[in-house]
Amino acid sequence: MNLDSRNVPYVISSFDLPDAGRLMVHNCEDCACAVSDDRHILGWIPVTSKNSLDMYTKFIYNRQIIEIPIDNEWKVLFNPLGNNGAVVVNLIVLELLHQLKHGSTFEEIFKDSNVGLKKWADTFQRLISLQVIQPAGILDRSPNFNNNQMLTAWLHITNACNLDCPYCYLNKTSEGMDEATGCATIEAIVNSALNNGFQSIKLKYAGGESTLNYPLILKLHDHAKTLMAEHDIQLHGVILSNGVSFSTKLINELKKRNIRIMISLDGIGYNHDSQRSLINGKPSFRLVDNTISKLIQSEYHPHISITVTQRNLNGLPEVVQYALERNLTFSLNFFRENDCAVHVHDLKYQENEMIDALLHTFEVIETHLPRWSILGAVLDRGQLIQSRKRPCGVGQDYIVIDQQGKVAKCHMEIEKTIGDVFRSDPLLLVRQDTKGVQNPSVDEKEGCKDCTWRYWCSGGCPVATFNATGRFDIKSPNCNIYKAIYPTALRLEGLRLLKFSGYQ
């Protein structure tokens, strides 16, 4: 802490970090969540001669603000109905805010002070811009929800896999997508983007194990790049892999095309092998670890996806530390019940045990604070990066295409197809379907309407909720877990802002 922090007001947000937008990591690589690539961040407006502070308007401390202590000198403020994320303030600012609980003007508070008025005016303006204070008399309102400009498509490149994971939702076969179907898929996706006004497309090359059909991935990505260039559509790509086998040639080809890589890693040693063994039953951790090392040596860092079940709960802190020590982004994905895994009885976690494991994991994160925000990575579908009415893009801006070119709404229900890519607009099929998975707004869900966190959790994964309750219009079965860990996660964000903005 700076020596003068007790006497000088400090207000710190993500906008104080260079490249703030690129430091937001969304837990999206193996789901339909909105991505951070196109995120537009609202910045604060400093006081200038053209934007002077209104000295006589009565302002009030937003009553929705949640206060979370970091230590004896700093607190995190979070407005669940705002758009600006976590804000860190020191005690002198907090004293000001508490003076504003019943409303005051800037002039009333500082009329007898001649010291540091410009600093206080700037602080006051920042608090307004960050939605911490607001003019008195304004009714509570919802956040501003951005319209997603990216269409995301899951391409099921192959139904084959070289692992035998007990939580997998697929009935695996040896069938792979062929080039003709793949090209038709790319063309249909581009048509959907053009018909619906999307400015960018994200292709998720998945399976099965996608690398088993990697020559097709390269051909399809090149085809997509050519088509999208003709229509001025941005292309993003990610390959979802178990990491068992990556040749140097494949790494170079992916790197050349800027196709990002997600590797599934569920633990270190036994904690990984207990739920991600090879088809022959042999362990896979050593192979995955070797791939990750090879990617790091190639300066093409992968994203690590961690599926959390009852089996690997105790090893969660260790695998997160593994990622942080290698400067790898990661995401936690809670096990989702499905028909293929119904016979496996030791995967479903208990609520209290999950909370305990996550809190222990947060202790590891605190000692290895990354430069990037963990608020979109450690909370399953209950991220705290961007307010939203739905937890994912299912039924909105997400398409799943299987190896035969058939269209589904969610990869978790890839066998429940509703058409094929040989129709002109597969997104229209997804949006018009009323029989498959439904993804209602959080405002329509029982148990969510009055929740403080509703626009961040968004009611959780609709498939997981339906499998647990038989309903789509009800709160997530993980609701209590999300609520329990939100405050600690926000405290970690406060520590990150302090560390990397230079205040500690």
Q: Place 220 in a pLDDT band, splitting at 50, 70 and 90.
A: very high
Please check whether residues 101 and 188 belong to one and the same domain. Answer: no
3-state DSSP assignment of residue 202: strand
Nearby residues of 264 by Cβ (< 8 Å), 6 or more positions away: 30, 240, 241, 242, 243, 276, 288, 304, 305, 306, 307
Give domain status of residue 351, yes or no. no
Domain count, the chain: 3
248 within a domain of the structure (yes/no): no
- What pLDDT, in 10s, does the model give residues 267-280? 999 999 999 999 99
Residue pLDDT, tens place only, 10-26:
999 988 887 665 666 66
The CA-atom distances, in angstroms, between 503 and each of 131, 275, 364, 421 are: 22, 42, 22, 53
156 and 137 both lie in a single domain:
no
- Residue 481 within any structural domain of the chain: yes
Cβ atoms 136, 76 nearer than 8 A: no
Tell me whether residue 449 is in a domain.
yes
Residues 155 and 237 in one domain: yes
Q: Which residues are CB-contacts of 7 (< 8 A; sequence separation ≥ 6)?
A: 92
Find out whether 47 and 11 touch, Cβ atoms under 8 Å.
Answer: no
Q: Is the pLDDT of residue 166 over 70?
A: yes
Q: What is the mean pLDDT of the chain?
A: 89
Predicted confidence (pLDDT) at residue 420 exceeds the cutoff of 90: yes
Q: Is residue 503 part of a domain?
A: no
> How big is the CA angle at 75 (ends 73 and 79), to the nearest 5 degrees?
165
> How many other CB atoms sit within 10 Å of the CB of residue 354?
23
Measured in residues, the chain has a length of: 504
Given a contact cutoff of 8 angstroms between Cβ atoms, the answer to whether 46 and 11 are in contact is no
Q: Which of 93, 121, 143 is the last residue of a domain?
A: 143
User: Tens digits of per-residue pLDDT, 32-44?
Assistant: 444 333 333 444 3
Tokens at residue 97, please?
A: 């805010």
Residue 84: which CATH number?
3.90.930
β-pairing, 133-135 with 330-334?
A: unpaired
Q: Judge if 64 and 149 occupy the same domain.
A: no
Give the pLDDT band of residue 47 (cuts 50, 70, 90).
very low
Please indicate, yes or no, if residue 247 is contained in any of the structural domains: no
- Same domain, residue pair 449 and 428: no
- Is residue 122 located within the same domain as residue 207? no
Asked if the structure places residue 300 within a domain, the reply is no
Residue 114 pLDDT exceeds 80: no
One domain, residues 109 and 159: no
Residues 477 and 407 in one domain: no
Answer yes or no: do 163 and 81 share one domain.
no
- In this structure, the answer to whether residues 138 and 47 fall within a common structural domain is yes
Does the residue 64 lie in any domain?
Answer: yes
Question: Which stretch of DSSP H or E encloses residue 234?
Answer: strand 234-241
Q: In this predicted structure, what is the pLDDT of residue 52?
A: 56
Give the percent of the chain with pLDDT over 70: 90
Percent pLDDT > 90 in the chain is 74
Is 186 exposed, middle or buried, given 0-12, 13-18 or 19+ CB atoms closer than 10 A? buried
Residue type, 181: T
pLDDT at 45 over 90: no
Range of the domain at 460: 440-485
Statement to judge: residues 180 and 227 lie in one domain:
yes
Structure tokens at 166: 């007990």
